[in-house]
Amino acid sequence: MANELGRTVTHRYLYARSWSLGDRKSPLASTPCLISLRGDIKMEKTLAPFSAVTDDEIPQTLTVKSNLPLSPPNFAENSPSFESKVGHVLPPSLDEADAGESAGYGGLLPISWQRLNHDQNLTSLAINPSIIALVDAVQLAGQQRKLIDALVAIKHQFPGALIWTPGLGGPDNVAVLTWFGVDIFDLARSRQCSAADILLTGSGPREKVGSDSLENTDMESQLLHWKLAINEVKSALSSGSLRSLVEQQSLNSPKLVEHLRYHDQVVRMKQGVGVSHVPKGYSLHCNSSESLANPIVTHWVDYIANQYLAPAGMDRVLVLLPCSAKKPYRMSKSHRKFLDAIGNTSFHEVMVTSPLGLVPRDLEETWPASHYDIPVTGKWSADEIDRTYIMLKSLISRHQYHTVINHSSMKFELKGVEYYDTSQNLPPTSRDALTSLREISSLVSTKHEYRNRKHHKILLDNFHSVARYKMNNDNWLFDVKIRGKPPYWRLEQNGKQIALWSNDRRGFSLSKSSIHPIAEHSSLKEISIKPEVSWKGDIFGSIVERFDKSIVSGDDLLVLQNSAPIGLARATASGWEWSSTPGMLAKGHQRL
């Protein structure tokens, strides 16, 4: 029996993952989970599938054993069992110091801040670790940036490993640490609280309420709060709502807010960390100011501000409109009124909203524009105004707009364009505001003699915009005709269907006939599988020869073999995971 840990990712969200442990067809446990330490109370093995002990030697030896049969191929006995020297661990503040005594290697990999900075062998290990213990995590958490820098470095170097931060986790931070990529937690803080007659809850440590034993601080009570917190995280991961839980939990301490804000900054700059498509029913809840820094949001902001191009010929008259609770916006009652008042489909409509800033009409059906939800207060914060103004100035500077009609509640000072404020500090759907919008739109249309676009042209413009956003380019859509009825539009080329607009996916469902035009124009990110492989199913790391590091979860991919296109796949894992993550990385979609 191999001394390996059977594991596969069942849910993921950026760096956060829920691993199924054991046989992937019938897993016995999942992460986030607990690890049992010496002196802990007895726990269900499904909750604590691992046990860890250290000896009394200097330097210490750390042993991690499985409490369940988790080793392939037979999954018959409790396994695996890992043992590794911890090495000398110096305080993280001694950045330049090298402890000299290196830690061990293998299935269990102890890592410290010094080791990350001085052990060059970490970049060329023969064996990918199954579990990594960040042994000085508690010390790193007390210093600026180091905990996040360490975790991100570990995630990218060892994407297939489960991460344990000894002594750091609790019910009050398990969601945030899971968001950072931690998988395994222990009861160390709960034991300390129990000894001090304090209860460690999902909101942080507190005194027990009352003196009549309505609450206990014993370990059974402490463990109950752990179970509740872990279940909350697992549920949020499976439903795609983990970020909301993270923002809520980060308020438990100033340090958590500090770590989350810095982590958001780091992720914003990382390649291959993101989501391009989500399952039907996903929502992006943006309920706090921290939502402005959510990497899903900032990736959108960066794209619209720096890369987005309006449909050809549409960058003449820009109309700024309010958002709506109903998505896509055009289906809402308010936007039907706006569209009727504007009366000209050659104007470029862009919604003003938070936290996304600006949402062009031609991208309103895509993630995250079609999935976000915000509380409406009627007031804009300074950060929201600054973000939107910067994005708007960038949008105008990269296009040829000569007229801006502002029907949103946000006010702007714009130079070099004809500027009309049609909302006049009135509710945008009020009779007077709509009359003003109608009159100004008619005036501009008459002055410049702009004609309405035909419906087929509107659809083409929208699909070209989506292709530029979700793919490398829109060149594969040359000479495309749109057939069918809403919402299932067919994209045909030379009489053959090359794609279907998927309303559930809010994106293209590519046909086999699209493979060659996509390959010809390099319109998709590419992966190459090994020459000797007979590809029949999904994409696993063992068959991948080369991959694009900028892949994000949900991307459509062009599959190559011997430099020739052979099919399409949809990424289930982002690029940072592809080097050594077990399990499926992409789902096979089309094969020639």
Judged against a pLDDT cut of 80, whether residue 182 lies above it is answered with yes
CATH superfamily of 308-448: Uracil-DNA glycosylase-like (3.40.50.10630)
Decide: 85 and 59 in contact? Cβ < 8 Å.
yes
Whole-prediction pTM value? 0.95
Decide: 549 and 530 in contact? Cβ < 8 Å.
no
Taking only the tens place, the pLDDT of each residue in 469-511 is 999 999 999 999 999 988 889 999 999 999 999 988 999 999 9
Give the pLDDT of residue 379.
86
* CA dihedral for 67, 73, 76, 80, sign (positive or negative): negative
Give the pLDDT of residue 2.
74
Integer Cα distance of 359 and 321 in angstroms:
10
Q: How confident is the model at residue 120 (pLDDT cuts 50, 70, 90)?
A: confident
Residue-range domain boundaries for the chain: 7-90+98-268, 308-448
Integer Cα distance of 152 and 163 in angstroms:
11
Integer Cα distance of 569 and 586 in angstroms:
6
Spatial CA neighbour of 13 closest among 356, 225, 285: 285
Give the pLDDT of residue 119.
87
Taking only the tens place, the pLDDT of each residue in 565-580 is 999 999 999 999 999 9
E-assigned strands of 294-381? 317-322, 348-353, 357-360, 372-373
Whose structure tokens read 């309303």? 503
- How do 108-111 and 61-66 pair as beta strands? unpaired
Whose structure tokens read 């970049």? 123
Please spell the DSSP secondary structure of 353-369, one letter per residue. ETTTEEEEGGGTTSTTT
Taking only the tens place, the pLDDT of each residue in 99-114 is 666 788 999 999 999 9
Decide: 16 and 243 in contact? Cβ < 8 Å.
no
Give the pLDDT of residue 212.
61
Give the pLDDT of residue 25.
94
Taking only the tens place, the pLDDT of each residue in 277-308 is 998 888 999 999 999 999 999 999 999 999 99
Give the pLDDT of residue 101.
64
Give the pLDDT of residue 102.
74
Q: How confident is the model at residue 56 (pLDDT cuts 50, 70, 90)?
A: confident
295 prior amide bond cis, ω within 30: no
Give the pLDDT of residue 499.
98
Q: How confident is the model at residue 213 (pLDDT cuts 50, 70, 90)?
A: low
Integer Cα distance of 14 and 383 in angstroms:
25
Judged against a pLDDT cut of 60, whether residue 1 lies above it is answered with no
Integer Cα distance of 543 and 532 in angstroms:
9
Q: How confident is the model at residue 366 (pLDDT cuts 50, 70, 90)?
A: very high
Least confident of 123-137, 351-365, 396-410, 430-444: 123-137
CB hemisphere CA count around 504 (13 angstroms): 3
Decide: 186 and 179 in contact? Cβ < 8 Å.
no
Give the pLDDT of residue 124.
83
- % of the chain with per-residue pLDDT over 70: 98
What average pLDDT is seen over the chain? 95
